[in-house]
Amino acid sequence: MDLSVIIVNWNTKKLLENCLSSILKFTKGLSFEVIVIDNDSSDGSQAMLKKKFPQVKLILNNQNLGFSKANNQGIKKAKGQYIFLLNSDTYLVENSFKKLLTNIKSRSKLGVIAPQLLNENQTIQQSAGYFPHLPQIFFWMSFLDDLPIGMLFKPYHIDHDSFYKNGQQIDWVTAAALMIPKKVIDEIGLLDPQIFMYGEEVEWCYRIKKAGYKIYFSPITKIIHIGRGSHKKIPTQAFIGEYKSLIYFYKKYKSKFALQILKLLLKIGALARVIIFGVLGRKKLAKSYVEAFKVV
């Protein structure tokens, strides 16, 4: 089998239905399977899957295991030579899997390839970056990487549209949509189960690159990702989760001194955002960074 598409679901019934429908509509020219891991949804997702998508392989959990553990369950069951991790709040608009599969096979030592992600309004979505070494954390927390010359700092989060217009190597790509050869996973291991959600792809890509493989961003195809394109809710848990994952990353790979500097930078950055967003009247966003400050 060419490809195993793995989707983790937790109470995203309608989004998941749209995602699966788009996969079946646009995916042609390759053999594939779809594995959905349901983290104890209570919104009718399981019944919907069994009724409308009986061909989908379903793994049911009796609790929310988080993103990493659930994806690992799917990877262990996968039969494809390549694995595609895909968020349930995405949908295809073309034969993306075939395009990426052809691309990844043409490149040597390629560990991961990721498509261009778009918001629902067709604007480019931030989906890649450089590893969070201390300089990158400093540039991020001080807003320097937001400047027009921000790409010179190799930012942790690349928020410059010009980057996403060309295919190129990078340090990490979001796990919302990425393809990886199964043989690479067999060599470097699964996602770190200690990371519940947020930042798991950074740690994974770090191991993949250390093993000598390349991480590649390719705008050869586009996938819509609703997640960060929605501003209905302030993503407090995302801020907290990212802070926690960075602290975990430093505990795992960096010195104790570097960890303390990281914590200091995160605190200063969170405090600065509390003040700035408070002054701008964005009280909910300011409160989110108060919560992020507390976890450091």
Same domain, 221 and 289: no
Q: Angle, nearest 10°, between helix axes 236-253 and 200-210?
A: 30
Q: How many CA atoms lie within 13 A of 162 on its CB side?
A: 6
Number of domains in the chain: 2
Q: What does the pLDDT average to over 8-14?
A: 96
Of 128-137, 148-157, 219-228, 248-257, the poorest mean pLDDT is in 219-228
Of 119-123, 138-142, 245-249, the poorest mean pLDDT is in 119-123
In this structure, the number of other CB atoms found within 10 A of the CB of residue 139 comes to: 22
Q: Position of tokens 């989908």?
A: 56
Query: What's the gap between Cα 63 and its chain centre?
Result: 22
Cα–Cα distance for residue pair 113/175, rounded to 1 Å: 11
Same domain, 21 and 82: yes
For the chain, percent of residues with pLDDT exceeding 70 = 98
Q: What does the pLDDT average to over 255-262?
A: 98
Q: Between 229 and 1, where is the model more confident? A: 1
Same domain, 272 and 187: no
Q: Residue 289: is its pLDDT beyond 70? A: yes
Write down the pLDDT at residue 148.
94
Cα–Cα distance for residue pair 107/49, rounded to 1 Å: 36
Tokens of residue 210, six digits: 């250390």
> 78-132: per-residue pLDDT in tens?
999 999 999 999 999 999 999 999 999 988 899 999 999 999 999 999 999 999 9
| Domain encompassing residue 243 | 236-295
Q: Residue 155: is its pLDDT beyond 50? A: yes
Same domain, 124 and 172: yes
Cα–Cα distance for residue pair 183/119, rounded to 1 Å: 32
Same domain, 99 and 61: yes
Res. 233 pLDDT band, cuts 50 70 90: low
- Nearest partner of 209 among 243, 246, 169, judged by Cα: 169
Same domain, 122 and 187: yes
CATH label of the domain that carries residue 131: 3.90.550.10
